[in-house]
Chain A
Amino acid sequence: MITAGIDVGIESLKAVVLKDGKVLARGTGLSGGANRARAVEQVWSNTLAAARLSPSDVSKIIATGQGKHDVRFAHDHITEPVADAQAARFLYPGATSVVDIGADQVRVITLGPGDSILEVVMNQKCAAGLGILLKSMARTLGMTLEEMSSLPDNSSGNATVNDGCSVFAEMDALGLLNRSIPREEVARAVIEAVAVRINSILNNKIKPAKDTTVLIGGVSRNTAVINALKRRSRINFLIPELAEYAGALGAALIAAG
């Protein structure tokens, strides 16, 4: 049986095609903003082509992510934590928690027995300290996300930016640049602010276990943020190879039943 999951995030789209529990193909693209439905179709079309499949070969498609309702051809929709939990259990059967750090949301999911979920904690409306801030600050600092990601974890702590508000963080960063603070130092301050923000959500209710917590989502690709977060949270995250595809994988797994 061939199934698929499509994860429509605020910044990017991810599609995974599964056959008998194995990934046949995956695809990604920008989420397209106001033209999200068209972007979904494009990514889906490319993914099917990579798998050498036609749409009729896929028995069931489940969409997830904040733009899930833009996947008009999906058979069903599920919320993101349900997909994340499914993927984490599939990838790491001993997992007890999942942390999904995306462009504007961080979700901390506590797994229960069987397929159950004990708790879901999310950030509230402000996206401070999440992927979208990193992207915006990279642009402000004239750096690529890859350059930010490769910064060493040796912040002096002399430069700090607000960790509660993206707008204030950007203003702080500009203020630091105006005081001739090197942009690498400012970037490290931004990374530290991101880690502080995520760590506060990790500690919101029940802190995830030290060695059985799975980290997924686009921000898990940013080595500098993850190093800072590990240092602050003291959690040895399990990070799968295709961490940013985990939501789509979970949806595809649920479609497979």
Chain B
Amino acid sequence: MNKQRWETRPLDVWNKAKEMRAKWQQSIDTAATERVLLAQGNVGWSIGFPALRVIEDNPVGAMMANKSDEFSRICRVAGEVMGWGREICGYQLNCWGAMYLGHQQDGSKFPMRDMVIPFPDPCDQHTKRGQAPMDYSPIPRWQENWPLYTGPRDIDREKAMIEDRVYCTVYMIEEIERIFGQKFDDERFIESVKVSGGIQPYAQDVSRFMQHIPSPLSQKDIYSFYTLGGLTKGDPAETVAFWKALRDEVEWRVQNNIAAVGNERYRWMETHPPPWHFLKYYRYMEKYGAVCIGSQYSHMMAGAFEIKPDGTWGPRAAFVGFGKDRQIKTREDAIRAMIGTEARGHRFKDDEVIRPYALNDFAKAYKVDGAILPLWRCGVGCTVTRKEQGLRLSEMGVRVLHYEGSQPGDRTDLDANRLLDQLDVWMESQGLRKLED
């Protein structure tokens, strides 16, 4: 029995996204032969160096977990043999293991990094990711600050925190110039910041369109796009053009009630990354007519949102002088623009921690019935505040399911069959039976 209620159809932009991701992957693999420097990390200003590419462990480790359980297990063991604990981030152990083994899943040579610029992060293990590559090669490593303040809004403090990050960034750029002898191209960097600024408004529209019933996209769709322009860096103009095409297509889907899940009757949200080796649980939920409308994490390209006084869902307001209207003329201006209002934790994930009801607002905006909040033991999405968030969501009538696992890139302690049983229990206890089997 498949109670189709809405028309569904594949996305036209799908192949373009796939092509862009493949191009990025290729650019990492060929960096050494092209005599381009490769940095472990994720910083937006790397484009200012004409011959520097950055690669973060998140997408690589996640992809390894998704594509080959066997290889990612071998990698994690290789990491453990080198003395790293089993309990650390699975993305890290997958990537470090491949580095120690010296090859990637397809047998090709592991692209060794030339330097480390870890993505600064206040609450999990991103910042530690550079340690193993730094020690192994060895290679230089820098570390950017990420000041965080959890008190009431304070513009002067905010400005000081942003200036601290500007100082760190300028210092790193100058050091890379000094050590590697590569000149930083300010014009190219400034232009890139200006162009890339065009992504967010399109991403915000895409995010808002998902409030529509039926949802035009589901979580598994968003996961195919959300790294483009963020973790996966390509040509800025091409990336903006992609987001515009995606935005236009999603708007059309909304206007024509084209659904991600044709039998949508239940909407659920989640937090942070899923078990990448077990994405089939999204499909499993669709058997109940349940669509995952995403998470603050997967909507990250849209930035932090808030419920406005008139009840609408919109991007969080920037402070005066911190908005998009700023002039970008110098390296420092461009860095400030890149940081935006992210200091003080205006990013999606700090937002969850600092604003206790951030997830409730998200649930309200997207009209969700349920929330699945994984309890990861470590790494990305570590379980800080997750149980409290569950209680708050329960208070507003959102049904909450928690499940346990090691980390999204590590399948060791996730009991997949148990999770499917839990999903059955969860849905049936809400009076919903499978529409198809």
Contact = CB atoms under 8 A, between A and B. Distances in A.
Q: Do A and B come from one complex?
A: yes
11 contacts: A79-B425, A79-B428, A81-B428, A117-B430, A117-B431, A120-B425, A122-B425, A124-B403, A125-B404, A125-B415, A125-B418
B391 A205 contact: yes
A117 B418 contact: no
Nearest to B422: A122
A115 B425 CA distance: 15
Q: Which of B399, B424, B425, B429 has the most CB of A within 10 A?
A: B429
A119 B394 contact: yes
A80 interface: yes
Contacts of B390: 205
A66 interface: yes
A78 B421 contact: no
Interface string A207-241: 00000000000000000000000000000000000
Contacts of B322: none
Contact of B425 (A80, A116, A124, A205): A80
Interface residues on B, range: 10 to 19
Interface in A101-121: 107, 109, 115-117, 119-120
A82 interface: yes
Given A66-B421, A125-B404, A78 B431 contact: no
A107 B421 CA distance: 13
Contacts of B394: 119, 205
B24 interface: no
B418 A120 contact: no
B110 interface: no
Contacts of A119: 394, 399
B429 A117 contact: yes
Interface of B: 390-391, 394, 399, 403-404, 413, 415, 418, 421-422, 424-426, 428-431
Contact of B428 (A82, A107, A122, A124): A82
Contact of B426 (A120, A124, A205): A120
A115 B431 CA distance: 9
Given A119-B394, A205-B394, A78 B428 contact: yes
A82 B403 contact: no
Contacts of A109: 429
Contacts of B428: 78-79, 81-82
For the complex of A and B, 8 pairs with smallest distance between CB atoms: A117-B429, A125-B415, A79-B428, A124-B404, A79-B425, A120-B429, A79-B424, A81-B429
Contacts of A124: 403-404, 415, 418
Contacts of A116: 431
Contacts of A78: 428
Nearest to B418: A125
Contact of A79 (B413, B415, B418, B429): B429
A120 B431 CA distance: 13
Given A117-B429, A120-B426, A122-B425, 18 more contacts: A79-B424, A81-B425, A81-B428, A82-B428, A85-B429, A107-B425, A109-B429, A115-B431, A116-B431, A117-B430, A117-B431, A119-B399, A120-B429, A122-B422, A124-B403, A125-B404, A125-B413, A125-B418
Interface string A45-87: 0000000000000000000001000000000001111100100
Contacts of B431: 115-117
Contacts of A85: 429
B357 to A, nearest CB: 18
Contacts of A66: 421
Contacts of A80: 425
Nearest to B399: A119
B313 to A, nearest CB: 28
Nearest to B419: A125
